[in-house]
Amino acid sequence: MQKTKTYGGRDIPEDLRPLSGELESLRQILLQLAKERTSGQTSGLIAVTRMFNGITIEQWKQVAQKHGLQEWFALSLDESSHLNLSHLLQALEDLAHQSEHDPLTGLENRRAFNRKLQIEAERVDRSNGTVSLACIDIDNFKNVNDTYGHPCGDEVLCGLAEVLSETKRVYDVAARLGGEEFALLLPGASALKAKSMVERVLLRFSEQLFGCEPHAPFSCTFSAGVSCMSGRGTTTPAMLMELADKALYEAKTSGKNCVHVARQQPDFEYDRSTMVHSNEKQFLFSGTE
């Protein structure tokens, strides 16, 4: 018996959940955009295209009728048009990837990272959750370029990127912000947990050996600063980044090759009117009447 799951008031077979879920999400987004249209704005018509391989028009009609997707228009593609659209789709995907990823390391770039930091901060504010941010800077990187050459410096950058990609969790975000600066976004991680995770990255990175002939193999370290946003408060993504940068500076000035956690004030103000003051405590526990 095929497993089903109720979605949008309908029972969706397990093998169709990705399709139906994607269409439902897109439907809600477009409906919201239509509601937000300003008064007097001319109405428009847009076609949104998504290609699916191995599905015939007859199969689509059955799916649409059974799961309430009649407002989505399906167009059958012959071999030549499908080939051309496939090339176009691949080109668009490549351009989108290039616009948000660092060409050397393959990590996300500053633009993509800032967007995901903003999204994560909004999630934390809505859900009263936690997110930590680590700013990472390779120690003495200028000396690496000057001594071993820029190609060897690129190897070091790619080496750190590889360690970050292999060590981070699936939902963490690793990025190269520019030069020898990297960042790691850690949803759900407290400051102490983030510090421990970044220290594991540092250990693995420091154990790597880079060989650039005719020089002898060498290793590198990095310094990192960690900041944390927790609960519904006043901390913004810009403040979170600033706190991590300050902690990174402290790590650099304290000798490098270490991870520092930002010293930050609570995101909320205590309501001191409800607190018991010292003279009231004396009265409560003195036993006097």
Q: What is the DSSP string of 124-164?
A: HHHHT-EEEEEEEEETTHHHHHHHH-HHHHHHHHHHHHHHH
Q: Point out which residues pair with 226 in neighbouring strands.
A: 134, 261
Three-state DSSP at 22 gives helix
d(CA 49, CA 151): 42
Continuous H helices in 137-262: 141-148, 150-167, 191-206, 237-253
- The identity of residue 194, as a single letter, is A
Give the CB-side neighbour count of residue 32, counting CA atoms within 13 A.
6
Q: Which residue has the tokens 């090339």?
A: 87
Q: Tell me whether residue 180 is one of the annotated catalytic residues.
A: yes
Nearest to 202 by CA among 138, 255, 106: 138
Cα Rg for the chain, rounded, in angstroms?
Answer: 27
Catalytic choice (180, 181, 199, 269): 180
Ordered strands of the 222-230 beta sheet: 173-178, 181-187, 130-138, 222-230, 259-261
d(CA 182, CA 259): 14
Nearest to 184 by CA among 122, 102, 107: 107
Q: Which amino acids are annotated catalytic?
A: 180
